[in-house]
Structure 1
Amino acid sequence: MQTAAFVTCDLLDDHPELDIQVLTPSLDGKFFHSFGARKSFAGQIVTVKCFEDNSRVKELLATDGTGKVLVVDGGGSMRCALMGDMIAESAVKNHWNGVVIYGCVRDVDAIAELDLGVHALAAIPRKSNRQGIGEVGVSLYFGGVAFHNDDYLYADNNGIVVAQEKLVDC
């Protein structure tokens, strides 16, 4: 299993001159949890905005994700999962470093065994209803952080930070 060579606390301490954004730990009582086997991960951001429809998540994670992290704005919905074990397995197969979901996942025991970083708000067994709806490559905003395609995300058990430039090898 690959482990990123950084600690988010140290990234902030080592680069006080940079405008590094820090995801707020609590979003109206919602907290991000780590679900994947990879506890620290980083990469260039690819964004998708979707609400209770994981069509675009599935499509993107089936493409080459070398050096990338998918950031999903699911609107914080707690009614269905935007990623399960089969889509997570596709992400691993296609070399994604991680996925951050402002929403839910499912199949958490299987995801916990995969070499993939996964941060999401919660787990729920209900799958999403695929209708082919979602926007790719749009700017996202949640947790006090603006996520833009091509920015860099760094995540570990301390939290999630975003920078406009690459701070360590991803």
Structure 2
Amino acid sequence: MGFTADICDDYSDVVKVADPLFKRYGQKTHFSGPAATVRVFEDNVLVKKALQEISEGSVLVVDGGGSSRCALMGDNLAEIAVERKLAGVIVYGCIRDSDEIANMDVGIFALGTNPIKSVKKGIGDANIPVVFASVKWQPGEWVYADNDGILLSPDKLDV
């Protein structure tokens, strides 16, 4: 039985299901935790800052506007997530260094890869509701993710 499939069976009246747009990177096959959000566009300064500051066990949700023109995260930022024991990262955009990330104890969902790095202007917003993949991601909501999908719940579920 699957992690998110079981959650959907038990909590279908509670969870929201994100559109299946994402590919999984890293060694973690599933993760869950409270969401911390950032909204950026082709600029990863706030992504790095959030990775350095959010609470251990959190899921960083990055609304990158769905851009595929550059990467918002690579192996250096993924290493921060590993060192800080974050639950995982969801990127509505691209990552890079996917071969290195494949060998890291991290769970990342992203739209795809792009070798081009982002700009570094520090423009964006943090800790705000963001909307992508047909769901609204609220800071503090619980995220559950595995190869079958990504779910959101207003509260932590008994799973």
Same fold flag (TM > 0.5): yes
Say which SS state the counterpart of residue 166 (structure 1) adopts: coil
Among residues 4, 15, 33, which one is paired with 2:23 in the alignment? 33
Q: How does 1:1-170 map to 2 (within 5 A)?
A: 7-18=3-14, 20-25=15-20, 31-168=21-158
Contact 2:24 2:110 in 1 (8 A): yes
Measured in 1, the distance between the counterparts of 2:146 and 2:12 equals 19
Return the alpha-carbon distance in structure 1 between the equivalents of residues 141 and 68 of structure 2: 27
Give how far 1:116 is off.
1.1
- The offset of 1:7, in angstroms, is 0.6
- Distance in 1, Cα, partners of 2:89 & 2:50: 11
Alpha-carbon spacing, 1:46–1:64, altered in 2? closer, same or farther (3 Å): closer
Q: TM-score, normalised on structure 1?
A: 0.89
Provide Cα deviations, 1:43-81, integer angstroms capped at 9, x if missing partner: 000000000000000011112531200000000000000
Contact 1:81–1:128, Cα closer than 8 Å, also in 2: yes
Moved over 4 A (4+): none
Could you say what secondary structure the match of 1:8 adopts? helix
- SS across alignment from 1:110: helix
Sequence identity of aligned pairs in percent? 44
Gaps of 5+ in 1: 1-5, 26-30
Give 1:168 deviation, angstroms.
Answer: 4.2
In 1, the alpha carbon distance for the partners of 2:93 and 2:54 equals 23
CA contact (8 A) 2:41 2:64 kept: yes
> Contact (CA 8 Å) 1:63, 1:94: kept in 2 or not?
no
Q: Is the 8 A contact 2:36 2:54 kept in 1?
A: no
Rounded Cα–Cα distance in structure 2 between residues aligned with 1:81 and 1:139: 22
How many positions carry a matched residue from both structures? Answer: 158
Shift of the alpha carbon at 1:144?
A: 1.0
Shift of 1:112: 1.0
The amino acid that maps onto 2:130 is L
